Structure formats: C-alpha cells, structure tokens
Amino acid sequence: MKAIIIGSGIAGLASAVRLARMGLEVEVYEANGYPGGKLSEFVINGFRFDAGPSLFTLPNLVTELFTLCGKNPESAFPYFQLEKSCNYFYEDGTSFSAFHDKNKFAQELSQKIQLKDSSALFHYLNKAEYRYNLTYPIFIENSLHKFKNYLNFNTVKGIINSYKLNPFGNMNRENKQLLDNPYLVQYFNRFATYNGSNPYQAPALLNMIPHLEHNIGTYFPKGGMHQITTGIFELAKEQGVTFHFNNKVKSIKTSNNKVVGIQTNDGIKYADIVISNADIHTTYRQLLKDTPAPEKLLQQEKSSSALIFYWGINRSFEELDLHNIFFSNNYEEEFNSIFKLKTIYHDPTVYINITSKYKATDAPEGCENWFVMINVPHHSGQHWDSLINDARNHIINKLNRMLNINLQELICAEHMLEPRTIESKTSSFGGALYGNASNNKYSAFLRHKNFSSSLKGLYFCGGSVHPGGGIPLCLNSAKITTKIIREEYKL
C-alpha cells in the first residue's frame, strides 16, 4: 500500500515514521524547502534561533519513535531535564522561579511572594495530576470519534468521575477559588496560552496543563528544539520515506467517495491513503473544494497567534534563564484585547526564550539569542504594520523598565515573525497557532476528527485536528491517526 502525507510538520513526520514501520510506501509532499513546519530554525549574524515552539515536555512521545524503529533513543535523541521551567517577573518588582521540585517551588514562593501555607499549592498540583491521568487516555491518546473507544474501563471511570473535573467552571474562577493569591492566579492562568486560549473563558479542565511542567518536568534537546525535527526527519528517511520539498499540493483527488491521490505541479500522484497535515481550514477550502466542508467547525473561534522578534543581544543577563515571562499588569484586559477586540494590548505579557543559556554555540561569546514573543489575535484584516511597530516599542519600553536597561542599544541582529507570515509559511488559517481556540467547555469535542467519514482513505493529523496543537498533542494526533489506519486496513 502507498500513503501520501501532505505537509511535513511534526505530526506529518511522526505519521510518516509510523506508517513506514507498518510496511507502507510513504511519500511526503511539502510546500516549503525544509521539514518541520513551525518547528524550524534559522541563523542571522552568528545567532541561531528555533523559529517556533520553544517548550519541550513529554519527551517520551519523541523517544518512542526511535524505540519503535529499533534505535537507542538515548544516543539518537539526547536531551536533559531542567531544574526549573521558567523565571517570572511582575510589574511591581516581584519575581520567582518555577522549580520542578514541588518543595523547592513552595520554598521559593514563601520567600518571593510570602506564601505562608503551601498546602493549597500542593493540592492544586495534585488536582492537576488527577485530572490529567483521568482524561489523558480518553481525550488525548484515542479518537473521540470511534464508538468502540467509549467501551472500556478508562472511559467508564472518566464518566463516573467527571463531576470532579469542574466541567462548567473556567480556569480563572477556579484558580481564584483554589489559590487565593493574585501572583499564583496569574501564574496558573498563563497555562491557557499553551493552546492559544483565554483563561477567563477556557474550561477549568485546562488547569491540568501545569501537571506537565511541575509533576512531569520540562526538558531541553541538546541540539535545541529543531533537533526534534531533524531527529524525526532523519529517522523517517532511514525507514524509507521519500520527501518532496518545494512541491505544493494543489488538490486531493477523489473518485467514488474514495481518495485516489493528490494533484501537484508534476501531475497526479496516486495513493491508497492520503493524510493531510495541513490546517483543516486549508485542507477543505483549497484541497477539497468539491467536498462539503464542516462549516460549523471551520467557523469556530480561532486560537491566538504570535508576534515574535528574534533579537541578537550583545550582552548576557544572569537574571534570565532559558524561559522567562514578564507579565502584563492587567492580564484580563490583555486577553480581552486579543480575543474580543482582536488587537494587541498596550502592555503585553512578554515571553523570552534564550537557548544560548544551554547551547552556547547559539550566540557569539558574551551575547544571547532572544526569542521574544507576545500573544496576539489571529489575522483577520488588522492593520498589522502599525500594530507591530507600536508593539515593538511597548515591548522594548517594558523590558527597559523591568530589567533597567536600554534594550535598543543591545540589539545587534533582528528578524520577525507575525500572523501574516505564520499563515503564509505554515498554511495556518489566520496564523492561528493552535487551530480553534478552547474557550468553551465543549472545545475538546469541537476539533475535527482524524479521519474522513465521507471519503475512504482520507485522514488528518496536526494541531488543527484532534487532540489539538502543540508538540505533544501533534505527536499524539499522529499516533491516533496511524492507529486508525492500522485497524481499518488490518496492518
């Protein structure tokens, strides 16, 4: 059997490896000249930058691909665990580090924000772990759109205990109730941004996300985040997968309610199976123009996008680490600007990722490579040039104030990525990083399934379909999609 995968994002790469191991002939068609989608890299003036995702959790989802192919993951994909996930800075001068060790984190908070009783913190993290363990097998590891997946112990257990998940609450209300500390409420509200959502609207169930950082841990690939792409890409080639770069797919060809291949500039390429790793909106609007589209899904509220400045900085900062967050003084208004007003808030929360802290060759000696990101709305016709210019000034002024520096004098290299270029480079509709937002209690059920009900042989993977965006969920989407293929074709 032959399979064609449209797009070489992280889910497409993982799907290629898994299908090749099943014995299929696999070809991947990619519009860009490189693999990885958002998870790419570039170099300017001696500074190396990971272009996209910067946080690494659940490394087992990567290493199991190497194990599946009979390779030793420790040598094939080296990485290490971080002692702390991030440094946090507040406008009133308060700052703290989020340590992986619960007791060390509690001690840090008692010193930095005068947290007198750590029991509420421990209860919160235990609750996050419980939610994660209860829902992961149901919502993340398996398709929600196959009836047989509801006929097992994990699903029954989840349904029986669903009342413990606070299904009708939202993140912010629950955080205020459980923590009663403004610093910690804002801190834990931040985890809504992991899937581009609004903590003042998103379901309380998403308060399980901190479990990934605090109870499991954060990690760093020794070669930087792009090592994830290169590692899986090389693994796919070793398994016999063929890649066609700079080869944009024009359409998915069908006949008698079945896919037969794809149309490219080189003609029709025939296949038994087609997996689209493209954004679901792009897949229907551009590749399946003659197929009825799931309009309600396509019209769902989109996730946030990002404005990223890649700055080469000609000095180093001891107070900064790999991950750093400079909070907005009014978090609710910031999210209101992003999701309701569809604009950039004048005091945005600023995230700085500095890989040269752990991979010295990413910047010249004595310098640092700053990946500076703020959350912004997806592209829907805004006057971006003006917004970006104002945002750059606001970011610089904020960091000048909070770090007591003159940042403009330190910038010796610069590049930028914004919603329009994210959309053009990755085919993400409107530059939305995670497809649809998760701003209501039904969001887990409102993602497109990993297979087509109307076209035999057509499947989907990636951040815009179940189970969602971000590296771990994309890798899980590849597992779900290829598992369905294995079962349907008895491979």
Q: Residue written as tokens 């060390």?
A: 104
pLDDT of 322 > 80? The answer is: yes
Given 217, 245, 271, the domain boundary residue is 217
Q: Give the tokens for residue 436.
A: 């649809």
The 3-class secondary structure across 455-482, one letter per residue, is CECEEECCCCECCCCCHHHHHHHHHHHH
Residues 145 and 192 placed together within one structural domain of the fold: yes
Q: What is the mean pLDDT of residues 270-285?
A: 97
Q: What is the pLDDT of residue 137?
A: 82
Q: What is the mean pLDDT of residues 106-121?
A: 95
Q: What is the pLDDT of residue 332?
A: 98
Distance CA 120, CA 126 (A): 10
Task: Give the tens place of pLDDT for each residue, 449-471.
Answer: 999 999 999 999 999 999 999 99
Number of domains in the chain: 3
**Average pLDDT over the chain, rounded to whole?**
94
106 assigned to some structural domain: yes
Q: What is the mean pLDDT of residues 160-183?
A: 84
51 assigned to some structural domain: no
Q: What is the pLDDT of residue 467?
A: 92
Better pLDDT: 12 or 266: 12
Residues 381 and 472 placed together within one structural domain of the fold: no
- The model's confidence at residue 143, banded by pLDDT at 50, 70 and 90, is confident
Residues 418 and 476 placed together within one structural domain of the fold: no
Q: What is the pLDDT of residue 148?
A: 62
Residues 228 and 277 placed together within one structural domain of the fold: yes
Cα separation values, 411 from 52, 311, 314, Å: 20, 6, 7
Q: Sign of torsion, CA 249 13 377 132?
A: positive
Q: What is the pLDDT of residue 141?
A: 81
Residues 319 and 445 placed together within one structural domain of the fold: no
- The model's confidence at residue 159, banded by pLDDT at 50, 70 and 90, is low
Residues 347 and 413 placed together within one structural domain of the fold: yes
Residues 333 and 249 placed together within one structural domain of the fold: no
Residues 244 and 341 placed together within one structural domain of the fold: no
Predicted model pTM:
0.95
383 assigned to some structural domain: yes
Residue 9 is classified by DSSP as: B
Q: Which residues contact 365 (CB under 8 A, 6 or more apart)?
A: none
49 assigned to some structural domain: no
Residue pair 440/203 in contact by the 8 Å Cβ criterion: yes
Which CATH number is 254's domain given?
Answer: 3.50.50.60
Q: Give the tokens for residue 425.
A: 């480079």
pLDDT of 84 > 60? The answer is: yes
Distance CA 34, CA 245 (A): 7
Better pLDDT: 442 or 92: 92
Task: Give the tens place of pLDDT for each residue, 45-78.
Answer: 999 999 999 999 999 999 999 999 999 999 999 9
Residue pair 225/50 in contact by the 8 Å Cβ criterion: yes
432 assigned to some structural domain: no
pLDDT of 158 > 70? The answer is: no
- The model's confidence at residue 140, banded by pLDDT at 50, 70 and 90, is confident
**Distance, C-alpha 243 to centroid of its chain:** 24
What stretch of H or E contains 182?
Answer: helix 182-189
- Percent of residues, the chain, with pLDDT higher than 70: 95
Q: Which residues contact 166 (CB under 8 A, 6 or more apart)?
A: 174, 203, 204, 205
Residues 119 and 190 placed together within one structural domain of the fold: yes
Residue 380: domain span: 304-426
Residues 419 and 392 placed together within one structural domain of the fold: yes
Q: What is the pLDDT of residue 166?
A: 72
Q: Which region among 128-132, 162-166, 259-263 has the lowest average model confidence (pLDDT)?
A: 162-166
What stretch of H or E contains 81?
Answer: strand 79-81
Residue pair 436/302 in contact by the 8 Å Cβ criterion: yes
48 assigned to some structural domain: no
- The model's confidence at residue 440, banded by pLDDT at 50, 70 and 90, is confident
Helices (H), 319-460: 331-339, 384-403, 419-426
Residues 67 and 88 placed together within one structural domain of the fold: no
47 assigned to some structural domain: no
Distance CA 206, CA 144 (A): 17
Given 200, 217, 234, the domain boundary residue is 217
Name the residue type at position 3: A
Residue pair 245/431 in contact by the 8 Å Cβ criterion: no
Residues 176 and 118 placed together within one structural domain of the fold: yes
Given 217, 252, 286, the domain boundary residue is 217
Is the preceding peptide bond at 467 cis, omega within 30 degrees of 0? yes
Task: Give the tens place of pLDDT for each residue, 350-389.
Answer: 999 999 999 999 999 999 999 999 999 999 999 999 999 9
Distance CA 407, CA 403 (A): 9
Q: What is the pLDDT of residue 135?
A: 85
Q: What is the mean pLDDT of residues 217-236?
A: 98
Q: What is the pLDDT of residue 240?
A: 98
150 assigned to some structural domain: yes
- The model's confidence at residue 391, banded by pLDDT at 50, 70 and 90, is very high
**Phi and psi at residue 411, in whole multiples of 5°?**
-80, 115
Better pLDDT: 447 or 145: 447
Better pLDDT: 80 or 139: 80
- The model's confidence at residue 301, banded by pLDDT at 50, 70 and 90, is very high
Q: Which region among 31-35, 150-154, 288-292 has the lowest average model confidence (pLDDT)?
A: 150-154
